[in-house]
């Protein structure tokens, strides 16, 4: 099968071909339900990107914190919501991030972006300046989770010169702040209706909210299952969850993926599968995932006997389900989720206590032997509070390893170097400490 436009943009074509090859490997009958599901939904996504272009749908640009659920209130036959970070994420999950993401980061820097800006934002910017993503009709952005994102938003406003609305996200999520965000969502709806001559439909939104709730409840059940000792499902699965929840909130594909991953995990436990042969060492991966090379997680389990029962990108809870019975309930529920059930925003936008409290919770719930802060290069506000996590870890009696890397660009700290760091830390610090109990 050909995809519309594949000949225009090789970066998409290669990702699509990878998906097709991997789909042959992970057939529908495979017990690897996670990979089967993720390949299907991202193949659908690429099909949708190109059919949106070829059908002349109105394209809305958004940064990844824009709640997908809200966007489903618009008629998807007429509009397509494109997240600026979709391409780097697809490259990371199914492509060759070491090649493409690095090129796009360089393209952004060549156009004037500072190398200190988070690579997520540099690569998104590079995709735009290279002209390999759909061109927008309008923009709708949120000022979260960080200054790097806000910098990307500023650049997109300046470069695209399209009508744009940016909403201001408060640092905390008390009732007044939630209502403030919900009021701004009403402004967004009015703005997009006017700019694109499309109608927003609260009945469509209601269905999207119900789907969102179903997805999040399933993800929360899966997160609960991941507490099992010994760990059963590979840790690579964790790193995919945020990518799915971010793009497919309020979309049936999000529910399908969550169900598949949950079901896979259940079956692995029933069959007695262990992620690691022999004794495992359990780590909380408290930061950005190793998306520049997902095979790294296999190495972690096979060579290092380290399991990651939970990380910052997989920890969603069902605490904030959306009340889909009223318009206000929906808008406020979406606002609450955007502030409190979204990785990075949840831990890093507001008080440092949010960051520390999730760390404590994860270490306790998932019986951590040690913590890892993978220090993503451009994530300056996470670096700013990492010292507090170190102190917190000492209080908890849990060793903590910190190192510098880049989640998307393998040139910053090559995988080999990270492997040596982790292996030495586990052998020299964590295992002797664990055995001394
Ligand atoms: S990794 Fe850090 S700097 Fe990059 S988008 Fe996330 S919060 Fe922002």
Look up the CATH number of the domain holding residue 375: 3.40.50.11900
Q: If you measure from the C-alpha of residue 288 to the centroid of ligand 1, how many angstroms do you get, rounded to a whole number?
A: 8
> What is the arithmetic mean of pLDDT over 168-185?
96
Tokens of 15: 């990702």
Task: Indicate the pLDDT class of residue 28, thresholds 50, 70 and 90.
Answer: low
* Inter-residue contact 72 to 81 (CB < 8 Å): no
> What is the arithmetic mean of pLDDT over 23-28?
78
CA nearest to 237, candidates 34, 430, 15, 21: 34
Specify whether 326 is located in the same domain as 178. no
Tokens of 187: 């402004």
Specify whether 249 is located in the same domain as 171. no
Specify whether 184 is located in the same domain as 286. no
Residue 267's alpha-carbon distances to 27, 232, 261, in angstroms, are: 17, 10, 10
> Cβ < 6 Å from ligand 1: which residues?
118, 120, 145-146, 148-149, 288, 344, 348, 376, 378-379, 382
* Inter-residue contact 197 to 241 (CB < 8 Å): no
DSSP letters spanning 81-125: EEETTHHHHHHHHHS-HHHHHHHHHHHHHHTT--TTS-HHHHHHH
Task: Indicate the pLDDT class of residue 92, thresholds 50, 70 and 90.
Answer: confident
Percentage of residues in the chain with pLDDT exceeding 70?
Answer: 98
> What is the arithmetic mean of pLDDT over 36-40?
92
Residue 315 forms part of a structural domain: yes
pTM: 0.95
Q: If you measure from the C-alpha of residue 329 to the centroid of ligand 1, how many angstroms do you get, rounded to a whole number?
A: 29
Percentage of residues in the chain with pLDDT exceeding 90?
Answer: 85
End position of a domain, from candidates 199, 229, 259: 199
pLDDT digits (tens, 9 = 90+) for 291-330: 999 999 999 999 999 999 999 999 999 998 999 999 999 9
Tokens of 356: 């520390």
Tokens of 186: 């009403």
Taking CA atoms only, the protein residue closest to ligand 1 atom 8 is: 146
270: pLDDT strictly greater than 90 = yes
Q: Largest alpha-carbon pair distance within the chain?
A: 67
Specify whether 338 is located in the same domain as 418. yes
Ligand 1 atom having least distance to the Cα of 147? 8
N- to C-terminal Cα separation, the chain: 58
**Is 15 in a helix, a strand, or coil?**
helix
What is the distance of C-alpha 359 from the center of its chain? 18
User: What domain range includes position 192?
Assistant: 6-199
Specify whether 24 is located in the same domain as 66. yes
Q: If you measure from the C-alpha of residue 72 to the centroid of ligand 1, how many angstroms do you get, rounded to a whole number?
A: 25
How much is the CA Rg of the chain, to the nearest whole Å?
Answer: 21
Question: 24-28, 116-120, 424-428, 430-434: which has the minimum mean pLDDT?
Answer: 24-28
Q: Report the residue among 115, 121, 146 best suited for mutation to probe ligand 1: largest number of ligand atoms under 8 A from its CB.
A: 146
Please, what is the average pLDDT of the chain? 94
Bridge partners, residue 234, by sequence: none
2: pLDDT strictly greater than 60 = no
Q: If you measure from the C-alpha of residue 159 to the centroid of ligand 1, how many angstroms do you get, rounded to a whole number?
A: 21
What are the backbone angles phi and psi of residue 405, rounded to the nearest 5°?
A: -160, -175
Task: Indicate the pLDDT class of residue 166, thresholds 50, 70 and 90.
Answer: very high
Q: Report the residue among 92, 312, 378 best suited for mutation to probe ligand 1: largest number of ligand atoms under 8 A from its CB.
A: 378
**Is 437 in a helix, a strand, or coil?**
coil
Taking CA atoms only, the protein residue closest to ligand 1 atom 3 is: 379
389: pLDDT strictly greater than 90 = yes
End position of a domain, from candidates 175, 199, 223: 199
* Inter-residue contact 357 to 315 (CB < 8 Å): no
Specify whether 184 is located in the same domain as 220. no
Q: If you measure from the C-alpha of residue 240 to the centroid of ligand 1, how many angstroms do you get, rounded to a whole number?
A: 16
At residue 13, the pLDDT reads: 87
Residue 1 forms part of a structural domain: no
Ligand 1 atom having least distance to the Cα of 344? 7
Rounded distance between C-alpha atoms, residue 407 and residue 122, angstroms: 12
Specify whether 190 is located in the same domain as 216. no
4: pLDDT strictly greater than 70 = no
Ligand 1 atom having least distance to the Cα of 288? 1
Q: If you measure from the C-alpha of residue 171 to the centroid of ligand 1, how many angstroms do you get, rounded to a whole number?
A: 15
Specify whether 237 is located in the same domain as 353. yes
27: pLDDT strictly greater than 80 = no
> What is the arithmetic mean of pLDDT over 353-380?
96
Query: Helix, strand, coil % (nearest 5) of the chain?
Result: 60, 10, 30
Q: If you measure from the C-alpha of residue 196 to the centroid of ligand 1, how many angstroms do you get, rounded to a whole number?
A: 30
Rounded distance between C-alpha atoms, residue 361 and residue 309, angstroms: 13
Residue 415 forms part of a structural domain: yes
At residue 98, the pLDDT reads: 85
* Inter-residue contact 149 to 62 (CB < 8 Å): no
pLDDT digits (tens, 9 = 90+) for 213-267: 999 999 999 999 999 999 999 999 998 999 999 899 999 999 999 999 999 999 9
Task: Indicate the pLDDT class of residue 354, thresholds 50, 70 and 90.
Answer: very high
Residue 408 forms part of a structural domain: yes
Residue 336 forms part of a structural domain: yes
CA nearest to 288, candidates 308, 311, 306: 311
At residue 26, the pLDDT reads: 77
End position of a domain, from candidates 160, 179, 199: 199
Rounded distance between C-alpha atoms, residue 27 and residue 294, angstroms: 20
Length of the chain: 437
At residue 1, the pLDDT reads: 45
Rounded distance between C-alpha atoms, residue 307 and residue 274, angstroms: 10
Q: What angle do CA 258, 332, 328 make, to 5 degrees?
A: 115
Q: If you measure from the C-alpha of residue 128 to the centroid of ligand 1, how many angstroms do you get, rounded to a whole number?
A: 19
Question: Which H or E run includes 321?
Answer: none
Pairing of strands 164-167, 138-142: parallel
Q: Report the residue among 101, 152, 344 best suited for mutation to probe ligand 1: largest number of ligand atoms under 8 A from its CB.
A: 344
pLDDT digits (tens, 9 = 90+) for 57-74: 999 999 999 999 999 999
157: pLDDT strictly greater than 70 = yes
Specify whether 78 is located in the same domain as 129. yes
Residues whose CB falls within 8 Å of the CB of residue 43, separated by 6 or more in sequence, listed in order: 16, 19, 20, 23
Taking CA atoms only, the protein residue closest to ligand 1 atom 4 is: 118
Specify whether 76 is located in the same domain as 216. no
Specify whether 274 is located in the same domain as 358. yes
Look up the CATH number of the domain holding residue 144: 3.40.50.11890
Specify whether 214 is located in the same domain as 170. no
Ligand 1 atom having least distance to the Cα of 378? 3
Q: How many domains does the chain have?
A: 2
* Inter-residue contact 109 to 125 (CB < 8 Å): no
């Amino acid at each position: 099968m050909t995809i519309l436009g594949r000949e225009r943009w090789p970066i998409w074509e290669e990702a699509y071909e990878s998906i097709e090859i991997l789909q042959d490997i992970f057939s529908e009958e495979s017990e690897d339900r996670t990979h089967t599901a993720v390949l299907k939904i991202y193949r659908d996504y690429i099909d949708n990107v190109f059919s949106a272009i070829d059908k002349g749908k109105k394209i809305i640009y958004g940064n990844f914190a824009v709640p997908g659920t809200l966007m489903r209130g618009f008629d998807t036959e007429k509009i397509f919501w494109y997240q600026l970070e979709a391409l780097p994420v697809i490259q990371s999950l199914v492509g060759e991030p070491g090649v493409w993401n690095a090129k796009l980061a360089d393209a952004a820097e060549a156009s004037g972006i500072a190398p200190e800006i988070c690579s997520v934002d540099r690569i998104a910017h590079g995709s735009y300046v290279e002209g390999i993503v759909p061109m927008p009709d309008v923009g709708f952005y949120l000022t979260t989770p960080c200054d790097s994102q806000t910098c990307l938003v500023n650049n997109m406003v300046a470069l695209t010169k399209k009508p744009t609305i940016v909403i201001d996200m408060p640092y905390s999520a008390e009732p007044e702040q939630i209502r403030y965000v919900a009021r701004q969502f009403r402004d967004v709806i009015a703005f997009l209706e006017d700019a694109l001559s499309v109608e927003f439909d609260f009945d469509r939104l209601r269905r999207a909210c119900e789907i969102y709730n179903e997805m999040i409840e399933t993800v929360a059940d899966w997160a609960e299952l991941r507490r099992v000792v010994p760990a059963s499902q590979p840790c690579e699965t964790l790193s995919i969850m945020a990518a799915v929840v971010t793009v497919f909130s309020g979309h049936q594909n999000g529910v399908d993926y969550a169900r598949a991953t949950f079901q896979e995990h259940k079956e692995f436990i029933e069959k007695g599968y262990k992620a690691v042969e022999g004794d495992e060492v359990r780590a909380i991966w408290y930061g950005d995932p190793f998306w520049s090379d997902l095979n790294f997680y296999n190495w972690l389990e096979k060579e290092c006997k380290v399991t990651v029962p939970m990380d910052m990108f997989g920890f969603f809870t069902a605490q904030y389900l959306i009340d889909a019975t009223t318009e206000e309930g929906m808008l406020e529920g979406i606002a609450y989720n955007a502030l409190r059930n979204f990785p990075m925003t949840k831990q890093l936008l507001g008080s440092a206590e949010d960051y520390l409290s999730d760390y404590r919770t994860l270490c306790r719930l998932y019986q951590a032997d040690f913590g890892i802060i993978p220090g993503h290069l451009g994530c300056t506000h996470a670096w700013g509070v990492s010292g507090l996590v170190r102190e917190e870890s000492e209080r908890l009696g849990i060793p903590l390893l910190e190192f510098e890397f880049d989640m998307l660009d393998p040139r910053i700290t090559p995988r080999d170097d990270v492997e040596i760091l982790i292996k030495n830390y586990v052998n020299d610090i964590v295992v002797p400490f664990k055995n001394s109990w």
